[in-house]
Each structure stands twice: as structure tokens, then as C-alpha cells.
Structure 1
Amino acid sequence: MEWFTRYTTQLELVYAKAEERIAAFPAPLGSLGLAYAHKFNPVKHDSNKDYICSLLPFWMKEPSGINDSQCEALALANVYGMLYFFIQDDVMDSKPASNWKEQLALGNLLMLEMFRVFRELFPSASPFWAYYDHYVTNWAESVTNEDRDDYFINDPIRTAGKAGPVKIASTGALLLAGRPELIAKMELAIDIVLMSLQMSDDYQDWKEDLAEGSYNGLLAMIAANRTAEDSLSEQKVENEIFIRGCLGPYVQLAIDNEKRLIELEAGSSELVAFHSFILKHLNHTHETIESNKKLLLEGGFNYFLSTQHINQE
């Protein structure tokens, strides 16, 4: 995980700056904001999502050549943006909470902080702002339509749209470096990584998503092979995962993503390394399930043989 560990000191400084600003928010928003910042700080908590949200500006040093100061500014803006969009997700995905007013108010203050940083980097005439509008519009479309349009089945790369605003940092880095010709290729590379990241999250969260009725790529793949009347239950999904081996074709999509990402040659070796980290965990999960299934089957066969031997005696 060198793509993470080499930046921990800089990340600590970025989060310290963010927390200093958040602590000055009006009560009780300051304490609520600090709790969010602590929860999503990858230096303090292991979370795939928070890795890319916080680290992408640093991974862009290789293809863009921006300096440390610019990386840290983009990372700071991304932290505020990450917290803002996570709050939006919480409000949309959860049953109405008693503090929803505080959450929405906090989100707006975080958005102001994000814009404050970006305005220092990009003048009003910069094409950066058109890219920002595009990514947020794509996010809004994705969170609204992914279930209705069944993104994972019909066009799986679109599942990256929910995390699309993270690309504000990569595009910002390339604009600061005067390399706009690389933006389209980098956007595709990040979408590939975000798709696999979403797949990893969907495997981890399938029980919760099933219970809440939230869209989930793994559940969508399982449901696609069943009739509309044959609704999914936890037991049916477990049968598909642990008995019928549905993770095989699921993981193959991430394997194909890895090949596509490498062939794209977007220029960020650390982004590729992060994708390999995601794929390794997905592969390990699949291989462990298949290994355990094989052992259980062999154990049953050996038991059958032993009982036959006893019966013969």
C-alpha cells in the first residue's frame, strides 16, 4: 500500500487544516462536522472510498507534474467535497433522522469551504467550472436513475457516476499543469477504478442494501437471471454466492477492468496500484468461497465413502 503510506504525513496535515476550519462552524455543526471528518479520515480508518477521495490529488503528481502545495490544496478541497457528498448520501439513503436539518446545514458549510479553496486555484473564466458542473450533474443523474435504468446490467461503467465528483481533483490537476488533452483519458481511467470500487462495496454491503431496498450491482446481477416474480431473499442471495458461484462472473468484470486500465496507459501508476488492491480483495473473497465449498464437498464425499465402508462391514 505504498500508494497510501507515502502520503500519510501530507494527509494528516490536510485533515488538520480541514478540522481547524470545521471546528469554527456554528454550534452544533462544528462538532458534527468533526465527527464526519474523523469517520472518513483514511489515516484513522481503513476505507476504500476514502482512499481515492483523499489521495487522488497526490496520485495525479505523476501524470500532471503539479507541486506539493497544489496537491494539498486539491486534497483539502476534495476532503470538503467528499464530506459534503457523503452527507447527501446519508440523507438520501437513510430513514429520516432527527438531525437531518443539521446534516443539510453542515453540508452547505462544507460546500462553501470547498468553493473557497477552488476559487483560489481557478479563476471564474477557467474551464474547471464547466467540468465541475458536468461531474455534479452526472452525480445527480446517477443517484436518481441507477435503480430505474439498472446501470450495472445495462452499462456497468455508469455505476461510477455516484462517485464522479472525485474527478474534480484529477481534472483540476491537469488544468493547473496545462495538460487538458489528458483529461478524457484520465476520466475514463478513474471511472474504471470507481466501477470496481463500487463492486467491492456492493459485495460488502449486499445484506444491508437488500434490507433497505438500495440499488446494488451484485444483487442486480443475481436478479437479472431470475423472473420478476422471484424476489430476492437473503437465503437466495447466499445460495447464489456460496453455492452457485455467482462471484465468478462478478469478479471477472473487475479483472477485465484491470486489463482495460493498464492498456489505457493514463499515466498514474498509483491509480493502477489502487485498482490492483481492490481486485486482490475481490479475488481473495471469491477464491476463499470456492476453496471452502470444495473442502465441504470433499468432506461430504469422504463421509459418504466412510459410511459405505461401514455398511459393507
Structure 2
Amino acid sequence: MRFFYDFYNDLKEVFKICREIISKYPEGLNDAGLKNLKRYNVFEENASKNYICYLLSFWINDKCHLKKEICIKITVANIFMMLFAFIQDDIIDREIEDEDIPIMIILGNLYFSEFMSIYREVFKGYEKIWDYYNFYMKKWSKFILDEKININNSMPLDSDKMVSLISGKAELIKIAVAAICILAKKEELLDMYFKAVDRVLFSLQVADDYIDWKKDLKRGNGNILLKEFTKKRKLKCYKDIREFDVKEEMIFGSLLNDLYMLLVKNSHKLDLIIGDKNMYIKEFNDSILKFMKSQMEIYLERRKEVKLGGFFNWVDKNIFNKSN
């Protein structure tokens, strides 16, 4: 995991700065903000490991060679932008309790303000950054509004257009790519990095949707695994899906193998885009591929267990105990 450990100390500094900023928020908001940050602080136990959200600036800077202090500032700003985006997404996906929504909306406003304040300071004389900001903010907003339409689209999942649509949920992280390249005067790298990031975000979304499929099924959220399941079973909508049938397809069908092979193809296309120009982006994508392969192998083992006579044990676990 060089994509993480090569920047371990820098990221420690980033989260320290974020904590210091949030701790100065008004009473009530500071405690709620620190608790919210803790959910995403990679150094906290059980925190979300959204490595690309925190580390993309550092990965891009490996070839751009800005001063570390500037890269840390940009990363701090982008973490506040991501915290803002996560709140928006969680409210839309009904993952925040009704009584907590007001304070989270207010925190989101403060996070967004932090991002803007840092970018205004860093990008004096670099007005072009705001063109990228406007473009990706509008693109992200459109995706969040149309997420179910995007996921349920009939075009092939691995097509360039579909990959771009699906990666839209994290579109705002591309502002970090533009930030580093503009400051380093290496805008010629932007097209390559934008396309590469799309491919990595696609891999990440497939893995996240595999992890979250039960939750998304209950809430009716867009989900790639469930989309592929409906195609296999020729179902019209999520309301026709039973959790037991999805588990059955994952063990006895080709659902996970198909998703894994989808990521193999996606990784090949990433290699064509970026080659050996950025080892960190490639290594992070490979880690996702390795995870999905391990999950596919787990279900293949379960299939073998059933064939060896464990069918009734499997039924007991999956029907009566509702476990994986």
C-alpha cells in the first residue's frame, strides 16, 4: 500500500489541520463536526477508508513536484469539499436521521466555506481553476439528482460514457487534479488524469455497491450489483428483488464473476490510459481488483461447501438467520 504509506505523515498533518479548524467552530457545531470528521479519518478505527478522496492530490503531485506545504493545503480544502459532498449524498440516500439533518446541513455549509476560503487564498492569479470548479460542481450536481437514472441506464456498464456517468458520484475530486496541474503548469496532463480517475472511480463504485447492496436494496438506492442482478433475472425494478435470490445468484450464479471480469476489463483500459505514468493510481485500482477477486473466491468456496453436502446449513444461515 505505497499509495497510502508513502504519504502517511503528510496525511496525518492534513487531518490534524482539519481537526484544528473544526474545533474552532461555534459550540455544538464543533463537537458534531469533529464526530463527523472522525467517521472519515483514515487513522481512526472503523473509519471509512476513502483513500482516493484524501490522497489524490499527493498522487498527482508525485509528477508535478509542488512544495509539500501547498499540496497539504489543497488536500485540506478538498477534504472539506468531500465532507460537504458526503453530507449531501447521505441526506439524499436517507442515511442521516431526521433530527440530525439541520445540524448536518449547517456543517456542510461551513465545510464548503472552508474549501472556498483555502482555494481563494491559494489560487490568486490562477483564475482558470474556477472554470474547472464550475464544470465539475455542475456535473456532480446533475449526477446526484439523476443517480437512479444513471445506474439503471441500458448502455453497457464498461462503455466510456457509462463509466463517466457512474463515476459522477465522486466528480468533485477532479477539482483536486486540476488544482495540482494548474499550479504546476502541467495542464497537458489533465485529460489523461481525468480519464484515469474515471476508471478508478468506476472500480471503486463497483466494490462499494457490492458492499452496500443490502442497504441499497432496502432504501431503493442505485446499485450496480442490483442492476446486473435485475438483468440476469429479467426483473423490471428493485421492488421485484428478494434478498435471498441475490444471495443465491452470488453463490450459484455468475454475478460476482461478471463484476470481477468487468473490473479486469476496466483495469486494462486504465493501463492503456495511464501506463506507468502514475504508480499510485494504478496500485490503488489494483487493490480494488484484488479485493473483488477475494470476494468472488469466498463465494466460490461457499458453492463448493454446498456441493459437498452443506446445502441445509446454507439454507439455515441465509433464510432463517439472514446472514451472509
TM-score by length of 1: 0.90
Q: CA deviation at 1:62?
A: 2.2
The one of 272, 286, 289 equivalent to 2:282 is: 272
Deviations 1:56-84 (A, max 9, x none): 11111223222211210111111111111
Cα 1:48–1:101 change in 2 (3 A) is: closer
Please say which of residues 213-222 and 40-49 is displaced more in the overlay.
Answer: 40-49
| 2:143 equivalent in structure 1 | 142
Q: Distance in 2 between matches of 1:46 and 1:183?
A: 34
Cα 1:56–1:116 change in 2 (3 A) is: same
Q: Distance in 2 between matches of 1:190 and 1:158?
A: 13
Q: Distance in 2 between matches of 1:156 and 1:221?
A: 15
SS at match of 1:221: helix
> What stretches of structure 1 move > 6 A for 4+ residues in a row?
none
Q: CA deviation at 1:298?
A: 4.0
| 1:218 equivalent in structure 2 | 225
Q: Distance in 2 between matches of 1:35 and 1:42?
A: 13
Q: Distance in 2 between matches of 1:282 and 1:146?
A: 23
Cα 1:76–1:288 change in 2 (3 A) is: same
Deviations 1:13-51 (A, max 9, x none): 111111111111112111111011111011224667521
Residue 289 (structure 1) aligned with residue 290 (structure 2): no
The one of 193, 214, 235 equivalent to 1:227 is: 235
Deviations 1:117-137 (A, max 9, x none): 111121366211111111111
Q: Distance in 2 between matches of 1:78 and 1:84?
A: 10
Letter in 2 for 1:159: I
Residue 168 (structure 1) aligned with residue 169 (structure 2): no
SS at match of 2:98: coil
Residue 111 (structure 1) aligned with residue 121 (structure 2): no
- Residues 159 and 195, structure 1, Cα contact 8 Å, conserved in 2: yes
Q: CA deviation at 1:153?
A: 4.6
Please say which of residues 82-91 and 46-55 is displaced more in the overlay.
Answer: 46-55
- Residues 38 and 44, structure 1, Cα contact 8 Å, conserved in 2: yes
Residue 238 (structure 1) aligned with residue 247 (structure 2): yes
Letter in 2 for 1:163: A
TM-score by length of 2: 0.88
Cα 1:163–1:152 change in 2 (3 A) is: farther
Q: Percent identity?
A: 30
- Residues 81 and 114, structure 1, Cα contact 8 Å, conserved in 2: yes
Residue 42 (structure 1) aligned with residue 42 (structure 2): yes
Q: CA deviation at 1:217?
A: 0.7
Residue 248 (structure 1) aligned with residue 257 (structure 2): yes
| 2:271 equivalent in structure 1 | 262
Q: CA deviation at 1:148?
A: 2.1
- Residues 91 and 101, structure 2, Cα contact 8 Å, conserved in 1: yes
Q: Distance in 2 between matches of 1:152 and 1:290?
A: 29
Structure with larger Rg: 1
- Residues 24 and 30, structure 2, Cα contact 8 Å, conserved in 1: yes
Q: Distance in 1 between matches of 2:214 and 2:270?
A: 30
Q: Distance in 2 between matches of 1:90 and 1:124?
A: 35
Letter in 2 for 1:228: K
Letter in 2 for 1:285: Q
The one of 201, 205, 211 equivalent to 2:212 is: 205
Count of aligned positions? 301
